[in-house]
Amino acid sequence: MLKTRKLSRKEQITKVATLLFRKKGYTAASMRDLATELGIEAASLYSHIRSKEQILDKICFRMVDAFVEGLNQVEQEVIGADAKLRRAIVTHIVVITRDTDASAVFFNEWRHLSNERLQEFLLQREAYEERFREIMREGIRDGVFKEVDARFATLTLLSSLNWTYNWYRKDGKMSPEEIGNQLADLLINGLKQ
């Protein structure tokens, strides 16, 4: 059982559910499993949450907010497209590594959101990706980056970054910032003129 004494009951539920969703997958994880992990009766879960989906929604949209907030900060900086892309990459990695369990759920279980929330999630993901594409287009316009298909380049870049949760370890040799900078070196060098 996870040690979560300093967290509120709702926070405990979310944290344990996140671990459970990562381990078993959203559909395979039951409310009974969650109650067992928490050491409480399944019926008492409903005094704290409405549904399993409410937890998934909270995890996914909390991650969306973190990614968007990070990119907002990057875009406020007055720097060239290559430096902006580097900062966006590093910020993206920092968000992923802050909570790799939540990142795993975010990247793998979003498909299980309710239809309305799923549409909202997809719109926000598309808007986020568009902001990366705009950085790429800016770099192309400024002659910093080669002429590339911005959509393809963005999908390739984000695909490379999004798997970090699988192998990142807090006790590893590199900090999230160092990982982000090394990935930026590899990815940005391929874009440069």
Same domain, residue pair 37 and 69 = no
The answer to whether 47 and 94 are in contact (CB under 8 A) is no
CA 181 – CA 188 distance, rounded (Å)? 10
Q: Which CATH number do you get for residue 32?
A: 1.10.10.60
Residue 13 belongs to domain spanning:
9-45
- Asked whether the whole model's pTM tops 0.75, one would answer yes
Name the strand (E) or helix (H) holding 139. helix 115-141
The pLDDT of residue 66: 98
Q: Spell out the residues 6+ positions from residue 82 whose beta carbon is closer than 8 angstroms to its own.
A: 139, 144, 145, 188, 191, 192
| Residue 1 located in a structural domain | no
pLDDT string in tens for the chain (193-residue length): 555 457 788 888 999 999 999 999 999 999 899 989 988 887 788 878 888 999 999 999 999 999 999 999 999 999 999 999 999 999 999 999 999 999 999 999 999 999 999 999 999 999 999 999 999 999 999 999 999 999 999 999 999 999 999 999 999 999 999 999 999 999 998 887 6
| Residue 3 located in a structural domain | no
| Residue 4 located in a structural domain | no
Q: Name the nearest CA neighbour of 16 among 26, 27, 1.
A: 1
Same domain, residue pair 37 and 100 = no
What's the structural domain count of the chain?
2
Tokens of 171: 């006790």
Same domain, residue pair 65 and 155 = yes
Q: Which CATH number do you get for residue 135?
A: 1.10.357.10
The pLDDT of residue 181: 95
| Residue 84 located in a structural domain | yes
Same domain, residue pair 22 and 84 = no
| Residue 15 located in a structural domain | yes
| Residue 2 located in a structural domain | no
Q: How far apart are the first and last CA of the chain?
A: 53
Same domain, residue pair 67 and 38 = no
Q: Name the nearest CA neighbour of 26 among 109, 96, 94, 115.
A: 109
